[in-house]
């Protein structure tokens, strides 16, 4: 056998063995990360279910959609009265209506006694303002302020 060819075969086999070892390490990392993601996904699903259950049990005026409890916020219509809304939404509407002009969520929160310095307290209020906007009860200005519909 040709000594040069034999040397090349031995060298190439060493290169492939090294590459195989690198790939095996990389595959182990990918599998470990995939396992971590699967665990994170299960935790997220459980937490989401728990939050949904907590919200459903605390939600006034809730209904069922697809077997899950949801809060019913009516769309504004001539035959729908404001008192059809849950009490906290009625209070939000009253604050916006009594304001001298368009208001930020922070101002509404201050009037309602929400600790506006804590973002986790202010964001649910902002969500309710947006929901009222989406249902036609309020209007959101381009600068993020809210006002009543005329």
Q: What is the CA radius of gyration of the chain?
A: 29
Burial class (CB in 10 A: 0-12, 13-18, 19+), 48: exposed
- What is the rounded average pLDDT for all residues in the chain? 86
Model pTM score: 0.53
Condensed to tens digits (0 to 9), the pLDDT of residues 109-129 reads 999 998 888 888 899 999 999
Per-residue pLDDT, 59: 44
Condensed to tens digits (0 to 9), the pLDDT of residues 46-88 reads 888 888 776 655 444 556 666 666 666 777 888 778 888 888 8
Per-residue pLDDT, 119: 86
Degrees, nearest 5: CA angle 56-58-64:
30
Lowest-confidence region among 14-23, 31-40, 63-72, 116-125: 63-72
Per-residue pLDDT, 57: 54
Per-residue pLDDT, 20: 96
CA distance 34 to 28: 10
Per-residue pLDDT, 51: 81
Condensed to tens digits (0 to 9), the pLDDT of residues 124-138 reads 999 999 999 999 999
Per-residue pLDDT, 82: 82
Per-residue pLDDT, 115: 87
Interval 10-26 mean pLDDT: 96
Interval 87-95 mean pLDDT: 92
Per-residue pLDDT, 78: 81
8 A C-beta contact, residue 60 and residue 86:
yes
Contacts of 23 (CB under 8 A, 6+ apart): none
């Amino acid at each position: 056998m040709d000594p040069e060819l034999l040397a090349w075969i031995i060298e190439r086999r060493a290169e492939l063995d090294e590459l195989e070892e690198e790939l095996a390490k990389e595959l182990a990392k990918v599998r470990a990360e995939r396992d971590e993601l699967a665990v994170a996904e299960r935790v997220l699903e459980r937490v989401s279910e728990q939050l949904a259950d907590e919200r459903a049990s605390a939600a006034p005026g809730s209904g069922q959609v697809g077997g899950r409890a949801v809060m019913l916020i009516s769309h504004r219509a001539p035959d729908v009265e404001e008192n059809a809304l849950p009490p906290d939404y009625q209070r939000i509407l009253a604050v916006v209506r009594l304001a001298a002009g368009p208001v930020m969520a922070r101002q509404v929160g201050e009037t309602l006694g929400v600790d506006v310095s804590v973002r986790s307290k202010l964001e649910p209020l902002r969500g309710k303002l947006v929901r009222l906007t989406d249902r036609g009860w309020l209007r959101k200005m381009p600068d993020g302020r809210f006002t009543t519909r005329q």
